[in-house]
Structure formats: C-alpha cells, structure tokens
Amino acid sequence: MEIVKARTDKREYKRIVLPNALQVLLISDPDTDKCAASMNVSVGSFSDPDGLEGLAHFLEHMLFYASEKYPLEDSYSKYIIEHGGSTNAFTASDHTNYHFDVNNDCFEDALDRFAQFFIKPLMSADATIREIKAVDSENQKNLLSDAWRMDQLQKHLSEEGHPYHKFSTGNWDTLEVQPKEKGLDTRLQLIKLYEENYSANLMNLAVYAKESLDKIQSLVEDKFQEIQNNDRNCFSFPGQPCSSEHLQILVRSVPIKQGHKLRIVWPITPGILHYKEGPCKYIGHLIGHEGEGSLFYVLKTLGWATDLSAGEGDGTTEFSFFVVAINLTDAGHEHMQDVVGLLFKYIHLLQQSGVCKWIFDELAAVCETSFHYQDKTPPISYVVRIASNMKLYPQKDWLVGSSLPSNFSPSIIQTVLDQLSPDNVRIFWESKKFEGQTAMIEPWYKTAYSVEKITGSMIQEWLLFAPNEDLHLPAPNVFIPTDLSLKDAQEKQVKFPVLLRKSSSSSLWYKPDTMFSAPKAYVKIDFNCPFASSSPETEVLTDIFARLLMDDLNDYAYYAQVAGLYYGIFNTDSGFQVTVVGYNHKLRILLDTVIEKISNFKVKPERFSVIKEMVIKEYGNLKFQKPYQQAMYYCSLLLQDQTWPWMEELEILPHLQAEDLAKFIPLMLSRAFLECYIAGNIERSEAESMILHIEDVFNKGPDPICQPLFPSQHLTSRVIKLERGINYLYPIEGLNPNDENSALVHYIQVHRDDFTWNVKLQLLALIAKQPAFHQLRTVEQLGYITVLMQRNDSGIRGLQFIIQSTVKGPGQIDLRVEAFLKMFETKLYEMTNDEFKSNVNALIDMKLEKHKNLREESAFFWREISDGTLKFDRRECEVAALKQLTQQDLIDFFDEHVKVGAPRKRTLSVRVYGKLHSCEYPSDKSQQLPPNAVQIEDIFSFRRSQPLYGSFKGGFGHMKL
C-alpha cells in the first residue's frame, strides 16, 4: 500500500512487519549525513501500577544503562556520542519513545546496541537506586515551573480512578520510600512492568539510513527479531477523565511568576478520530486568529490581553481537551468575566454563522502547501514524529499525520463546536493576586488553589454583559502564495555568501539557494544604532520599541504568518533586527510594510502602557529562572563588555513614559548602519532592489531619518580576557529564596577563534562529554542537569561545565568537576591511537554534515557575519586542520589549557547557592583562598579592571569589496 509523501520528498519508504509482529517503516535517503532510529512503545505513564507513580518514566531511564550483550554501564550513550550522535527518550501518557542519531558509518553497531533495550536490558540493583535519584532530580527541577504545576492541577481535578489523574514523573518518595513501606521492591516491579508490557506487537520502529531499502531491511530483521512478542493488548482507559463535579468550575491558583493567565478548557471528542475533517484545526484557527474582528484583536484593543492561543491540548484516542489560553494584563485580570463573556460571544458567532466552506478550503490549501514544501528536518526528529504516527494513523498517513485536513464535514466541525459550551467548561485562572485567598493545596507540586462552581446561567450573564464589540470572521488571506516556482539562479556554483554591495549606510550579503530547491527566502536586516545600547535606559526603550512594532503590525501580519511567512523584530546588543522568512512569493509586500512602519512609527500611549506592564513582569520574573540559567546569565555578564544587567533595567522601567520613547526613536534612528543578509529563492537584482528601497526610505530626501555612522561609532562586542593561571570565583545567592537547587558554571577560557585551536577544543569536548555525564550524573548523581559543552562569545572560545543540584552546594560541585578532570587526564593519556582516530573521524563527519534547510544554512552564515569572523568556509578549513592533528597535539593542548593546575589555564566559576545550601554561602565566601584564586566581589569593577580580547568586527572598512 502506498504512503502519501510530499511532492519534493525524494526519499524511499517501505513498511515491513517482522515475524514477532514488530511493525517497521524503513526510510532510505542517499543524501543523508546521519542515520537515525526511533522506537515507539505503546506503554506510558497511564500504565503505572497504583502506588508506584512514575514507574514507566523510571523504566525509560533504566533501559539506557546496560544490557546482557553490552554490560558496560552507559556504553550505549558513550558509543553514540563518540560517533557524532545524540540520544534521548520521553514518556507520554500512553507511549514511550526512544531515539538516537549517529554518523552513517556506525549505524549498524549503534542499532545493535539500541535493539538490546528491548531484548535483554540489565536492570542492576545498584543502578536502580542511583537512577531513582536522577528521576527525583528531574522532578526537583520542575517543582517551581508554572507549566508543570498547572498541568498537574488540571489532572488533580479529574476522576481519581482515571489514569489521567496520576502524577506521571515519579520522585524519591513514590519510587523508593512508599514502595518500601508497602513491602514492594521497586526493581522487581520495574522488571514486571517491562516483561509484561514491552511486547513487540506494541512497538513501532522507524529507521532512517543512507543505504538501500533492502540493506536496511536485512539490518532491521537481524537486530530486532529477538524482541519478545507476548501478544499484549494496548492499555485501554475508556471514558472522559472529568465527571460532572469537575465541569462548570472556576479554579483560582497561585503561580510562581508574576502575571495573570486564563485557561478555558473543555472535554471534547478527540481530534484524532476525525483527523481528515480537522475540526479542532478549523475551530482553533478561528478562535486563535489575531486579525481584525478576532477575539484577540478585540481583547487587545480593550487593553486586556497580550497573548492568546487556541487548539487541542492533552489527549489520547479516548479523550481530549480543547484549550483557549489567554495572558491577561492587570486590567484584563479585573475584567475576567468580560473576557470569558467575549470568548463565548465569539463561539456563539461561530455556531450561528455555520461552518464556512471557504475558510476550510483556505486552511486546507495552506496545510497542503506547507506539507508539500516542508523543510527537511534532522533525521532524529523525523523518525520520532513518524514512529509516534505509526501508532495512531493508517499506513498511508504515517508521514502526513493530521496535517492535511481534506474532507469538508460541517456536521463534524459543528459537533465539536457545540461541545465548547458553558455546561462543560473548566476555567483555570492564575494570578499572584490570589495569594492568601486559596484554601487547598495540590499534593505533588504544592500549588495553592480554590474551586468554585459556576453555572451555565452565570456564564450566559457574563456573555450578555460583555462589551458590545464588533466580532467577525477573518477576511480572505491575501498572503497565501500562488507562485511556487523556482528562480533560475545563474549562480548554481555559489557556495558562500557574497558581498553584493556596500555603501556608507549598509552592506548586503547575498546567498542564492543552491541546495534546497524550495520556494522560500530568508531576509535579515540588522540595524546597528549606537544610541540604542548606550545605557540601560536606551536598551529598555529599544526593547519596548521592537515589541510595539510587532504589536502594531500584528493584525496585518498575522495573515502572513498563517500563510507560512514569518517575521520578527527584536532588540539586539547594538540596536534591533528585522527577520522575514518563508515563501518568497509575497515576502516583499510584508518586508516593505515592516520598513514603512519603522520609518513612520508613532507611539500610542495606551499600547505603550500595556507593553511596559508586560516588560516589567517579564524582567521581574527573571528572578524565577532556574539556578543554572542564573549562573549562565552571570557568566555572560562577567565576560561580555558593555552589557547592562536586567536588574538596572528593571529599576528604570516604572519611570519610563510614552513621551520618553517618542523622543528616543528619532535619536536612535538618527545614526544607523544596516547589515543585511538575503538568501534563498531570490535573484541578485531583487535582493539589491530590496536594500535600495530601504536606503531610499531611511537615508534619502531633504530630511533623512538616518545618517551614516561616523567611523568611531561602529559597535564592537568585546570579551573580557581572563588572566592566565588564575581561578576566578563569583559566589552569589540564588534570586528565588524558595528554590532548593544550587548551580555551578565552571568555565575554562581558551582562545580567540582560530581553526587549529578550534578543532583541538571541539575534539576535547567530544571526547570528554560522555565521561563527564557518566561520572557526574550517572555515578555521582549530582543532578539531572549535568552538561559539558563548548562556549563561544563573539569568537572567544572555551569549555563549560553546567551543573544544577540539590545534593551538593556549588563549592562542593566545583571540587567534583576538578576531580573529574584529574580522572579524565588519565583516560586521555591512555587513549589508544585507534580511539583517537575514531573520534577525529566522528568530528569530521559532524563538520561535513550538510545544512537541512534554508533557516539552518542562514543561521550558520549569519553567525559569521554578526561575529565579524566572516569565515564562511569554516567547516572545510576546520576539517583540513583536524586531518593534521596528532594525539600529542591534543594532549599538549589539554595540559596547557584544561588540566587542573595548568600554568596557562584561565577559569571562572560562577556559583549560585540555592535554599538547601544557603548556609554554605557565608563560609564559602569568607574562606581563605589559595594564591592562584581570586574572588570577584563586584561584576562591573571586575570588568573595568580586566583587559579585552580584540573584536573581529573591525567596523567601517573591515570588509574589502
């Protein structure tokens, strides 16, 4: 039977079923640089035995450890990472998905190791206890996350007998303490869950490789035939999780972060049952629309909402929910009943106006174009999606899923629309203002909440008294592309961006599409405005300006977004940036509108107040960032010269007025240099004409908006140069006193961008990544977040360990990092020549990996332009450098820059102390330091006292035409 695939898809597909009933989709792609596989098992957290919450999730963790065939702990992950790959898994309610990708030449071995998860895993007693700690640490990091808290609250308010009600993650209590009290052995329960449920007939496998279908088939048959088939039935849980007592309720809850949010939720018929008719797509498209006359447009005009989304939420084939989520302003919070009334008014309008064929046809056309011209994605994400689809859809729709609504059925859409009634609504309303007004506590995340019954007649009353605004259906979408032809680019040989033109006002880099044959383009215009970042105040004003622009364009540009044409305007360290990406056919119309809006911008005081309120909350909420994110933030603030702390910006914000911004905008734009990058299905002449038009708007005329920059004004981003042989420490208490986690960023600064040095650093990071994870996370169980990665600040490169923990304080973690480096030193010295070569080859393969799509390619080239390094052939040059590298070169590099106590080593440890370790902070801060250690007391005094690395962005004249 055929499988529906995109017109532009050149891959080959074949479905096979092994004798053990394992269903497999084989995907052959001769062009791929990576192979991938994903196994989807139809067993998830709903299958957790009572009193063992989180067991399915814990099982997912345990399968990674070891198997009978490969008994060495973590050898699977080690093999994958050393061969240029990555691996992960996730547990959902009714399935668990395992996946990996790896360089082509190692696929067979990787697949063999992967298959053993499902054949004979070793779940040793020793590993069991250690990994329960990892599950507990994973849960710890979620306890102060509003998304996790609200999700669990919705589950809590449902039928206790329904699996939806459960706590799915698991923690130390549910997996160790409680089972012991009941006389249960968690490990035996784990093995039982695995043996009874991990049956081949409940598994779907997607395999993506370079080889022919026949070759992949024989590989799969050989590796996976031994999986047991116990002929299990899928775990079934018929019925909705909400009975009448859980409907018609208004739930007030207290979030961690500032802000007010409304979630209006209805149980509905699962969309999957009617995926060809797409009822939720149709309804979500209309309720979530942002054009004129839409619900959001009206709420925004009233100053009540800053964000709205609508669509199908959590669900399975048995039950589902439709969710409308609205971020409210302070004024919107006071008008909650009016907001809900307006929502029901709009739903009533949809019910009354009947299902419109033209709207369905337009939506179907957009979906069809989007499917047939979809960007190629990394194989790993592709197989995860398909393996998940194989459980849900008939074979012909495995690639399509529910992305192509094609059967127009007014009655099915109407049925779901009728389910969005006041009689079965659940309203979740969260705000800090409810502190002290709630009587109940959700048991797992300790969220404070209260529940109140609301009747259908109360909501009818809200509907009647809601403001009488002009709600109406959207207009036909003029942005839907109709010309999807490919330009006949003469430059088929152009590998790298070329500097097409340069003036005193702008430079234009151009790169035609020679790779992807897609009717899409990418345009980025970077406004370098020295006045935009001269102080914390100007930086905040630039941020508000960029947000107001987006806000003002929204009801017009939303149509473009629906049609697959996206735009963004964001502030940067040196001004602001406009990006437009998507189908090229109507891109110019959108770009010109954005440029027009910037040049004529008028500040509307009422919108200024709304955006200012939003920015104040956003900046204020930064104190609730996870401790490891705080540590990374301080690290950047310490290293990057001329950057302003958000604390200072938050101090300024309340005092800013609309007139301050109105005065600031002409000043900010008065001096600017535009760095432009245009790529994709666009001809040279079109690219030039876009920039000429922009220069006309900003630089021409008797009273131009912008003047060129003086040579002295070109901005550079420069990085602090740490002193050799010194360990810098920056200890600080976590900003959220309730967060138990502490964190460490241990940064080792190495060098300024240089091909030979880069590859030594990259190779070292590749070799050390897995041993670091294994030692610090798997063996020592310091915490769920344990990462070793490279760091690149404007071309200044180094290594960083990022660890978040409740087990040890930051000072102790720092000692564990040093102990790991000593242990790794031995491993590095003892490495065989074959192992060294294997790692070099893996890194070469990773570097030669082709870009998958235009966005990916553009991001790579744009980084070179924005850093000023302009090494467009970086990958080829680094591969050449790698081929020259010897094992001794790598050891010398390690000894000189990374080894503990190395004389030239430059280290910065940022230590964030959480609630559990706050008692260690004063003693750590006042301890006697060794002679080579320096404690940083004040970030800005430190920055001012340090030398800087030279910038690659030499400003005016740094590019020769």
Give the separation between CA 199 and CA 370, rounded to whole angstroms: 36
Tokens of 855: 């966005």
For the question of residue 539 being annotated catalytic, the response is: no
Fill in the DSSP letter of residue 719. B
List, in order, residues 6 or more apart from 366 with CB less than 8 Å away: 477, 480, 562, 563, 564
Tokens of 248: 């018609």
Strand pairing class (575-583; 565-572): antiparallel
**C-alpha dihedral sign at 805, 809, 810, 813:** negative
DSSP characters over 61-123: HHTTTEESSS-STTHHHHHHHHTT-EEEEEE-SS-EEEEEEEEGGGHHHHHHHHHGGGT-EE-
DSSP characters over 214-229: HHHHHHHHHHHTTS--
Tokens of 532: 């935009």
Kindly provide the residue ranges of all beta strands, DSSP E only, lying in 806-884, ordered along the sequence.
none
Cβ proximity of 740 and 806 under 8 Å: yes
The partner residues of 251 in beta bridges, in order of sequence, read 428, 451
Cβ proximity of 731 and 936 under 8 Å: no
Tokens of 35: 């192979």
3 state DSSP class of 32: coil
List, in order, residues 6 or more apart from 830 with CB less than 8 Å away: none
Tell me the three-class secondary structure of 942-956, residue by residue: HHHHCCECCCCCCCC
Give the separation between CA 321 and CA 283, rounded to whole angstroms: 13
Instruction: Give me the residue label for tokens 């364009």.
Output: 553
DSSP characters over 897-946: HTSTT-TT-EEEEEEEE-GGGTTHHHHHHHSPPPTTEEE-S-HHHHHHHS
Burial class (CB in 10 A: 0-12, 13-18, 19+), 915: middle
Task: Report how far apart, in Å, the C-alpha atoms of 781 and of each of 137, 643, 778, 785, 820 are.
Answer: 9, 35, 5, 10, 13
For the question of residue 60 being annotated catalytic, the response is: yes
- Selected catalytic residue, list 60, 537, 780, 878: 60
Cβ proximity of 669 and 474 under 8 Å: no
Tokens of 322: 């439709």
**C-alpha dihedral sign at 354, 358, 362, 364:** positive
- Selected catalytic residue, list 131, 537, 864, 920: 131
Tokens of 127: 């590993």
Catalytic residues: 60, 131
